[in-house]
Amino acid sequence: MANLKEIRNRIASIGSTMQITSAMKMVSAAKLKKAQDAITAMRPYANKLTELLQNLSASLDENAGGVYAKQREVQKKLVVVVTSNRGLCGAFNANVLKETVQLLSKDTTPTDIYAIGKKANDYFVNKQHVIENKSSIFDDLTFDATAAIAEELMALFADGTYDKIDIVYNKFKNAATQIVMHEQFLPIVPLEGDQSGSQDYIFEPSKIEIVQGLIPKMLKTQLYKSLRDSFAAEHGARMTAMHKATDNATELRDELKLTYNKARQAAITNEILEIVGGAEALNG
């Protein structure tokens, strides 16, 4: 059994760890509230825009500006991998990286990586060609900053550098649950089934102007929603992970305190026995 000093040091060390994990949990909880409100407010708007985009894409032709809906033979792909910049958030990053690796293994098409988040860049930098690393985006996640990334991706598709662009990220469901999503960003995926609903649209001032103006905005909004989802999911995952870490540390500390008390009681008992034995020896 470890001596009393070693047990005391371990109890003190675990106590310090508990303070850190508890503080990180509270910080993540505060950030989660703001991030959750942002994605909850934005999701209906983004979903409706995506639905409109898919309906509109059914009536597009390339000459009218439907370059983003053009289906080409896929000779080269780009996967946008969205992770966090920091760890200590459970399986948040591992799940996205695992999904991306599975995606790459199922397809022999030459594929490059566009990393959004330090963890994605660190993982793929020596395994796959990473064309860009946008780790700083989460320092100040705004629509304008995301729009610049979306414009870069749209340009890479429009000029034929890549024939398909996918996004892999964590979708926020609640603080304890994140869903790994794999979505096609470009080309635009039209709605399956009956597309007759698209005939109800009246284009004003013209289809070309609508396509050239509205679709890029929709794509930027779609990417912004994905990053907002991932941002909220990250804080939820970290809050949950730190909550579990604090609970585990509390349980371990209680066990060590019990061990310490038993060891201290045994030491006191031994001292009493030694005193009694010495007294009996003197009396004898």
Q: Token pair of 1, please?
A: 């059994």
Greatest Cα pair distance in the chain:
116
Query: At 68, which amino acid appears?
Result: Y
**Residue among 35, 69, 89, 232 flagged as catalytic:** 89
Rounded Cα gap, residues 247 and 30, in angstroms: 19
Q: Token pair of 248, please?
A: 């585990």
DSSP state of 59: T
CA 188-53-60 angle, to 5 degrees, is 70
CA atoms within 13 A on the CB side of 80: 28
Query: At 195, which amino acid appears?
Result: Q
User: For residue 113, which phi and psi values (nearest 5 degrees)?
Assistant: -115, 135
**Nearest CA to 173 among 36, 24, 33, 26?**
36
Rounded Cα gap, residues 284 and 279, in angstroms: 9
Query: At 88, which amino acid appears?
Result: L
> Is 196 tagged catalytic?
no
Q: What is the dihedral of CA 208, 209, 210, 212, to 10 degrees?
A: 80
CA atoms within 13 A on the CB side of 185: 35
Give the CA distances from residue 16 to residues 21, 28, 256, 260, in Å, rounded to whole numbers and listed in that order.
Answer: 9, 19, 14, 18
Q: How many residues does this entry show for the chain?
A: 284
Active site residues per annotation: 89
